[in-house]
Structure 1
Amino acid sequence: MTSGLFALDRHGDRDWAPGMLDFAVNVRGAPPGFVRSAIAATLDDLARYPSSELFDAVTAQIAALHGRDPGEVLLLAGASDGFELLGRLGARRAALLQPSFTEPELVLRAAGVPIVQVPLDPTRPLDARAAARIPDDADLVVIGNPTNPTSVLHPRTAIEALCRPGRIVVVDEAFADLTVDEVTGMREPESLAGVRLPGLVVIRSVTKTFGLAGLRAGYLLADPALAARLSAGRRAWPMSTPALAALAACCGPEGESHCDEQARLVAVERDAMLARLADVGWRPVADPRAPYVLFEVANALSVREELRRTGIAVRSCANFVGLTDDHLRLAVRSDDQVTRLVEALRRVPTEVK
């Protein structure tokens, strides 16, 4: 039952199978119509290589979106493409703020970079006391914001305070576009995408919010010198023509409106889901701010298997540093889907619970 659950390269898609109700993968449904149309419009161009003009145009578009220069933007085939580039930096020691997405550890270990794990309290955001545990000689620091899988949103100022001369700070903002300020309703309240600081790298993805996990699209933001280091020797045509068109649509006016709508919907659905799950004794580990929620459940692996037998997939967090095999992550879903989950949980045998 636990075979492979502790492997770093195991992600939520491994917990799901066709036909299952999916609480395991944090993708917000199918691509919206305007993104599908943008992709479809490129199909007659598939016999040609992606044009440099389109690549440059999308780069300039994203730079303008975040108030930056084109030289500060690298287009990516998904956020994992950005993490893979980190091995080029020649870091002497990397500090990974955990628990967090496992891909950075995989690529840095493959590049021979010494790693120190810095476990954070999964119930609370980064503060000065937690940051003080990062070794002074760590010249590369990686943190997720919001963090996957805890759903904690860290203050932007706390992450900025990690920056110092000679250090690169990488922020995984794959889910930042679905975060909102709980008071003002402003989207992306703690994002550093528009912040210019030497050594700061922000990696973003559009695959979750726009249902494009199978296409792979995202981008990286950094100061020009650092962006040049990351792109040196990079392969030609790092993104396909359909992915470039999709990225342009996601980062355009319709895409921004879609993000606004989805961010508001996530907040509503998350509150409703938490209320329903509280009725069966499930309460979040931390105040969730992302489109997923972390729970600690007794006998979680057995509960996961019982849910699988009823056709419901949830994400085991057994392979995250700082968590245990009693942690499960659930994607935020609609009320009708949550109803099915709650009904299934009520049927889980007492000896499993």
Structure 2
Amino acid sequence: MPAVQSDRVPPDHALLDHHGDVEVADGLADFAVNVAEPEPPSWLVEVLRSAVSDLAHYPDPGPARSALATLHGVPAECVLVVAGAAEAFTLVARLPWRRPLVVHPQFTAPEAALRASGHPVERLLLSAEDGFRLGERVVGVPPDVDLVVVGNPTNPTSRLHRPDEVLALVRPGRTVLVDEAFMDVVEAPGAPRHSLTRRAASSPGLVVVRSLTKTFAIAGLRVGYVVADPPLIARLARLQPPWSVGSLATVAAVACAGPEGRAHASSVRDGLPGRLARLVRGLGDVGLEVVTPPRGPFVLARHDHADETRMLMRHRGFAVRRGDTFPGLGPEWLRVAARPPEMTDRLIDALRATLGAPTQEPR
């Protein structure tokens, strides 16, 4: 398969629009969706409950914009609050790109948004053989590509690319959009080593999209933000529908950027390595090949009978995410969210029974 895939063959739009939430049904243990917990933290629930009485007023994104700018140490004019990362991708897709390219496998919403806006989209396909690393694949991007979209850490591969690998995509006349929806489980905003958020605020041609919905379990509230240089932020703001970000979302953004929010994100970040290690070990024990090292709150795993296994696991009460809806992956791939130890152990026991794997020593 060539590294860069042209647009000659139309994609299956139903697959691009497939998301993990449709895998989940009542009574199933959720390993399909990357939201950190089943509900928001109690302190955030109280903040939102207190804000309900103010819903008669139109929303003002100003305080959220300032709070998020302070969180990352960038000017407020470099931040645009959006209704989840999906709105950011839609706004960017409305710009007049000549030759956009998406690095895959990755979250399909950016490509779907580009196609919905009438853009043909090319793909840079990363390889399982080298762990889906970006590395030298950047040299395969044609020089006249004017938009590149890449996730970091990437959904579904859980691969964290080095900053220099991502920056190697930047060149005059090109915009590089980095989807950092899961970066808050990698590092704190105040001490970036991999995040390009601060650099995007002062670098034309570099855009970072962030999300608050996963780590704070508020996917239903829809709140995210874009960081870029002021001219591009102003351009995107002109394309944004009036009041697209509601009052509760802006209140949540302020709270998530504040002391309690930073402490919560730190707790999630500190607990993730243990969850991932247990999940990787368990999946390996029952015969799945895991892409390592995972850095997002999920892992990508391969098994010859993954699709059949996924369906059998539903009958055992577990939902995992199919992998074949991500360009560059086939039905032998599954994405599995990192969950608390006792929940992960139940999943592994069910997989062992489904696959007929030998029993391991007690964990």
Alpha-carbon distance in structure 2 between the residues aligned to 1:288 and 1:198: 30
| Alignment counterpart, residue 324 of structure 2, candidates 292, 304, 318 | 318
Whether the 8 Å contact between 1:7 and 1:319 is mirrored in structure 2 is yes
Q: How does 1:151-166 map to 2 (within 5 A)?
A: 151-166=158-173
Q: 2:43 aligns with which of 21, 29, 34?
A: 34
Task: Give the one of 98, 101, 108 matched to 2:114.
Answer: 108
Per-residue CA distance 1:19-63 (angstroms, 9 max, x = gap): 21000000011111221111111111122221x3xx212111111
CA distance in 2, matches of 1:193, 1:253: 20
Conserved? CA contact 1:250–1:256, under 8 Å: yes
Shift of 1:251: 1.1
> Which residue of structure 1 aligns with residue 294 of structure 2?
288
**Residues 1:149 and 2:156 aligned together:** yes
Give the one of 20, 39, 55 matched to 1:12.
20
Q: Which residue of 1 aligns with 2:58?
A: 49
The one of 25, 32, 56 aligned to 1:24: 32
Runs of 4+ in 1 over 2 A off after TM superposition: 186-189
Counterpart contact for 2:44–2:255, Cα < 8 Å: yes
- Distance, in Å, in 1 between the alignment partners of 2:297 and 2:340 is 11
For 1:48 and 1:262, how far apart are their aligned partners in 2? 33
Q: CA–CA distance in 2 between the matches of 1:102 and 1:215?
A: 20
- Output the CA distance in 1 between the equivalents of 2:161 and 2:347: 29
Q: Structure 1 stretch 278-287 or stretch 20-29: which is displaced more?
A: 278-287
Whichever residue aligns with residue 165 of structure 2, its letter is A
Judging changes above 3 Å, is the alpha-carbon distance between structure 1 residues 92 and 77 closer, same or farther for their aligned structure 2 residues?
same
Query: Which one of the candidate residues 66, 76, 91 is aligned to 2:82?
Result: 76
Higher helix share: 2
Indicate if the aligned counterparts of 2:101 and 2:123 stay in contact, CA closer than 8 A: yes
Q: Is 1:218 equivalent to 2:227 in the alignment? A: no
CA distance in 1, matches of 2:295, 2:329: 19
- Partner amino acid for 2:116? A
1:130 corresponds in structure 2 to 137
Distance 1:100 1:143 in 2: 7
Deviation at 1:86, TM superposition (A): 1.2
Pairing 1:167-316 to 2, within 5 Å after superposition: 167-180=174-187, 189-195=193-199, 196-316=202-322
Which residues of structure 2 form unaligned runs of 5+? 1-11, 358-363
Task: Output one character per residue of 1:74-96: Cα deviation in whole Å (capped at 9) or x when no partner.
Answer: 00111111001012221001011
Cα displacement (A) at 1:320:
0.8
Once residues 286 and 133 of structure 1 are traced to their aligned partners in structure 2, the CA distance between those partners, rounded to angstroms, is 24
Q: Alpha carbons of 1:6 and 1:49: their partners in 2 closer, same or farther (altered >3 Å)?
A: closer
TM value normalised by structure 1: 0.92
1:114 Cα deviation after fit: 2.1
* Residues 300 and 209 of structure 1: CA distance in aligned 2, closer, same or farther (over 3 Å): same
Residues 5 and 283 of structure 1, relative CA distance in 2, 3 Å threshold: farther
Identity %: 41
Shift of the alpha carbon at 1:276? 2.1
CA contact (8 A) 1:5 1:316 kept: no
- Mapped to 1, the partners of 2:297 and 2:315 lie a distance apart of 25
Aligned equivalents of 2:142 and 2:196: distance in 1?
23
Instruction: Give the TM-score of the pair, scaled to structure 2.
Output: 0.90
**Quick one: distance in 1 between partners of 2:111 and 2:153?**
18
Q: How many residues align?
A: 340
SS in structure 2 opposite 1:198? coil
Ranges in structure 1 where 5+ consecutive residues have no aligned partner: none
